[in-house]
């Protein structure tokens, strides 16, 4: 029987690998953001960020909690892996197609600006590709062998950024780099599926109700939670477009500040992903030390994000205007709040994983629902009264409510019973 110590070693090994790759991807993405803002300015970046937020909302809606269900299932048992993965792939493909159709309808029926409309339509294949590539990454992480997918992901980011920067240098605009992004996402998904079939299991789409129905039952609550959390992540830019300053330059600066926090989130999330299979085994084996996992990860997150936020307050405005120019002064003033929002996103992740492996899935749905309610109620009024700083405060309040509810519920449950 695997011990808690063995689980920690697996977490460390895979977490370092995944986080190292994500740090490389984060550095690449940060450099790409600098290139985009340099060549097409705050307004152009606003189009990019708005289209990305809309399609990432679709990615979240298509997730159905599979990124949590698959590691828990494969961490506990590898029996019937091919059939199980085939059913989850069918669900992901169907929901991704549905989300893509919804994004296309939104672009055609709601968005009046022709450039943004085309950008949103180009984001549809990116949505489908991103959805599938995230599913592939989840499978490799669940099998505790993520190295192959990591190499593919880093290679694709490098190829996308090199092509995108060359296009920008040659005079290409936002629509060109959106097309490059869509092609990169679809290519990564296709190659990832090939790798998975070669090295994990041969997976085929299935419409067998006996395979799909149990996953739908298990994932219903997680699916709603994923939708609510996706709205917390992507909804603010969409709300800002309709209820706040509608000029794309302001939206771009707000998005850029949030993106710094998101990059930090992306850099640490792989540790949590790598931990989930081992955490599932430890809780199943009744190891009482697993109860401290949430506090341990929250403490580490506070140290990292607290230091980053302090640096953002002290040097953020100067650093942003020095690197990007006076045009981005608003981003500098929002940098520290963006990092604090990132901290609130990450803080309860270990606790929510404890709820997942203990079968308390409705608790995270409740927390996400309360956070969304705060966002929907507070965001328009705060934005109209205080502009983008009010928007940042409302968003921070929404994530704070979600984090607090999750941590309070786990604390009240006590250690798992043996």
Is 256:49 a contact under the CB 8 Å cutoff? yes
For residue 132, the model assigns a pLDDT of 94
**pTM of this structure:** 0.83
- Please state the domain extents for the chain: 4-413
Question: Block means of pLDDT (10 residues each) for the chain, length 418 residues?
Answer: 49 60 78 90 90 90 83 72 86 93 93 92 95 90 75 90 94 92 95 87 80 83 87 90 78 91 84 75 71 84 93 92 89 94 94 84 91 94 90 96 94 71
For residue 149, the model assigns a pLDDT of 78
Distance CA 269, CA 21 (A): 12
- Element (DSSP H or E) covering residue 87: helix 81-109
Is 274:141 a contact under the CB 8 Å cutoff? yes
Is 206:90 a contact under the CB 8 Å cutoff? yes
**Token digits for 205?**
């789409």
What is the total residue count of the chain? 418
DSSP code string of 19-70:
HHHHHHHHHHHHHHHHHHHHHHHHHHHHHHHHHHHHHHHHHHHHHTTHHHHH
Q: At what angle do helices 66-76 and 248-284 cross, to 10 degrees?
A: 20
For residue 246, the model assigns a pLDDT of 63
Distance CA 200, CA 322 (A): 48
For residue 96, the model assigns a pLDDT of 93
Torsion of CA 22, 255, 228, 92, to 10 degrees: -50
Burial of 360: CB neighbours in 10 Å, binned 0-12, 13-18, 19+ = middle
For residue 369, the model assigns a pLDDT of 95
């Amino acid at each position: 029987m695997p011990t808690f110590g063995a689980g920690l070693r697996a977490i460390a090994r895979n977490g370092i690998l995944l986080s190292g790759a994500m740090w490389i991807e984060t550095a690449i993405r940060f450099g790409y953001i600098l290139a985009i803002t340099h060549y097409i300015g705050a307004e152009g970046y606003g189009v990019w960020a708005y289209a990305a937020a809309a399609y990432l909302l679709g990615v979240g809606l298509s997730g159905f909690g599979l990124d949590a269900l698959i590691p828990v299932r494969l961490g506990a048992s590898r029996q019937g892996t091919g059939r199980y993965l085939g059913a989850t792939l069918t669900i992901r493909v169907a929901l991704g197609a549905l989300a893509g159709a919804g994004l296309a309808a939104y672009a055609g029926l709601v968005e009046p600006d022709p450039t943004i409309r085309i950008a949103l339509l180009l984001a549809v294949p990116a949505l489908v590709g991103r959805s599938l590539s995230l599913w592939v990454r989840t499978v490799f992480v669940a099998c505790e062998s993520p190295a192959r997918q990591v190499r593919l992901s880093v290679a694709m980011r490098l190829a996308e950024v090199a092509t995108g920067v060359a296009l920008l240098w040659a005079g290409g605009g936002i629509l060109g780099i959106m097309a490059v992004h869509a092609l990169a996402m679809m290519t990564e998904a296709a190659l990832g599926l090939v790798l998975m079939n070669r090295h994990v299991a041969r997976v085929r789409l299935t419409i067998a109700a006996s395979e799909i129905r149990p996953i739908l039952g298990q994932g219903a609550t997680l699916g709603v939670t994923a939708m609510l959390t996706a709205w917390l992540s992507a909804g603010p830019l969409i709300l800002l477009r309709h209820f706040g300053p509608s000029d794309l330059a302001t939206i771009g600066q707000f998005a850029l500040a949030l993106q710094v926090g998101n990059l930090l989130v992306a850099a640490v999330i792989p540790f949590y992903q790598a931990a989930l299979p081992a955490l599932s085994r430890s809780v199943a084996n009744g190891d009482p030390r697993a109860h401290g996992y949430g506090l341990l990860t929250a403490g580490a997150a506070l140290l990292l994000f607290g230091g980053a936020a302090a640096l953002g307050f002290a040097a953020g405005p100067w650093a942003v205007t020095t690197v990007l120019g006076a045009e981005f002064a608003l981003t500098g003033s929002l940098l520290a709040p963006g990092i604090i929002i990132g901290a609130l996103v990450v803080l309860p992740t270990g606790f929510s994983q404890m709820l997942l492996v203990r079968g308390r899935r409705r608790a995270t749905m409740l927390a996400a629902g309360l956070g969304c309610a705060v966002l929907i109620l507070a965001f328009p009024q705060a934005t109209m009264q205080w502009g983008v700083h009010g928007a940042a405060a409302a968003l921070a309040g929404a994530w704070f409510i979600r984090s607090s509810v999750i941590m309070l519920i786990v604390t009240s449950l006590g250690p798992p019973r043996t």
